[in-house]
């Protein structure tokens, strides 16, 4: 298979998934797509009226969920007349299913008609003033995975990858929302304190295991991208304590109402 054929295959798989989505949901096309990451899933119910919901694995080429707290569901929501496609959970690079599995939801969203891609995640924060439960707008990223989600000589500009317009729109909702630079690691291990020092030296302020590869594919498909992080823990070496996945989930539950309100207002303003 040539690299161009690899791109074509990934997009064909997404076209198949989008067709199955339209058939199963009864919604011919969607306008906005949202991926809910760690800590954001409890906010799903606040976004609007559920029109249809089913396991992502009912759609072709989606991988089953691998992580506790990632529900692996897809939901079609009516947000005051806007059709919103919501993924409750995502596939991560550390699952070793390849970059096409990681970005299938993004490609499917584009093929389903979405022109806006909202990518959310739970992550570690390098700014000590970001207490667990703080939302942060992603301004830019560092892809430290060593992987590319694109195939072949497919040159894609990543200037203003995270839409300045959508960030400004978020600040009309929450004027004080801070911005950060998200460093994606492959995981599944958290960073060492030395790696966090490296990220700091590189200008990174958020660390996680998702989002950057998905944003690259969304840009390659001409979508407008909003990245929202929920800081659920201080990055390794900053708190004097070890990192704990259950604390991460708990920070999400505690922040759900605020995140749901923010996302729900963003969706309505974008529409």
Q: Which residues are catalytic?
A: 191
Q: Is 187 in the site for ligand 8IG (CB under 6 A)?
A: yes
Other CB atoms within 10 Å distance of the CB of residue 164: 9
> What SS3 class is residue 117?
strand
Q: Is 38 in the site for ligand 8IG (CB under 6 A)?
A: yes
* φ, ψ for residue 170, nearest 5 deg: -65, -35
Dihedral of alpha carbons 257, 259, 263, 265, sign: positive
Listed residue (112, 201, 104, 215) closest to 158, CA to CA:
215
Q: Which of 40, 62, 162, 185 binds ligand 8IG (CB under 6 A)?
A: 185
Residue closer to ligand 8IG by CB (options 186, 268) is 186
Which of 18, 190, 221, 227 is close enough to bind ligand 8IG by CB under 6 A? 190
Rounded least distance, CB 84 to ligand 8IG, Å: 24
Q: Interface with ligand 8IG includes 209 (CB under 6 A)?
A: yes
Bridge partners of residue 32, in order along the sequence: 84, 116
CB of 251: closest distance to ligand 8IG in angstroms?
Answer: 8
Ranges within 71-100 binding ligand 8IG (CB under 6 A): none
Cβ at position 89, least distance to ligand 8IG in Å: 13
Q: Which of 123, 215, 221, 226 binds ligand 8IG (CB under 6 A)?
A: 123
Which runs of consecutive H residues, i.e. helices, occur in 112-244? 164-173, 193-202, 212-220
Site for ligand 8IG contains 207 (CB under 6 A): yes
Q: According to CB under 6 A, which one of 103, 134, 232, 264 is a site residue for ligand 8IG?
A: 232
Specify the DSSP class assigned to residue 241: S
Query: Of residues 233, 256, 263, 270, which one binds ligand 8IG by CB under 6 A?
Result: 233
CA-based diameter of the chain, in Å? 51
Which helix (H) or strand (E) covers residue 91, if one does? none
Beta-ladder partners of 34: 86, 118
Q: Which residues bind ligand 8IG (CB under 6 A)?
A: 38, 122-124, 185, 187, 190-191, 207-209, 232-233, 235, 243, 248
């Amino acid at each position: 298979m040539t690299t161009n054929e690899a791109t074509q295959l990934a997009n064909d798989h997404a076209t198949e998934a989008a067709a199955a989505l339209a058939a199963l949901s009864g919604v011919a096309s969607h306008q906005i797509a949202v991926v809910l990451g760690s800590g954001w899933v409890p906010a799903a119910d606040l976004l609007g009226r559920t029109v249809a919901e089913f396991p992502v694995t009912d759609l072709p080429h989606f991988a089953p969920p691998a992580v506790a707290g990632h529900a692996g569901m897809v939901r079609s929501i009516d947000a005051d007349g806007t059709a919103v496609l919501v993924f409750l959970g995502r596939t991560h690079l550390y699952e070793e299913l390849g970059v096409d599995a990681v970005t299938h939801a993004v490609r499917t969203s584009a093929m389903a008609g979405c022109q806006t891609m909202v990518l959310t995640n739970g992550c570690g924060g390098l700014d000590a003033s970001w207490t667990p439960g703080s939302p942060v707008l992603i301004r830019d990223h560092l892809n430290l995975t060593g992987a590319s989600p694109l195939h072949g000589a497919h040159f894609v500009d990543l200037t203003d990858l995270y839409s300045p317009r959508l960030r400004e729109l978020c600040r009309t909702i929450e004027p004080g929302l801070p911005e950060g630079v998200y460093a994606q690691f492959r995981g599944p291990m958290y960073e060492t304190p030395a790696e966090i020092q490296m990220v700091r030296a590189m200008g990174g302020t958020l660390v996680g295991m998702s989002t950057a590869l998905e944003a690259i594919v969304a840009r390659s498909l001409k979508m407008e991208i909003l990245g929202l992080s929920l800081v659920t823990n201080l990055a390794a070496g900053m708190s004097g304590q070890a990192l704990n996945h259950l604390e991460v989930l708990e920070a999400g539950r505690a922040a759900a109402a605020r995140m749901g309100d923010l996302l729900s207002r963003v969706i309505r303003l974008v529409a």
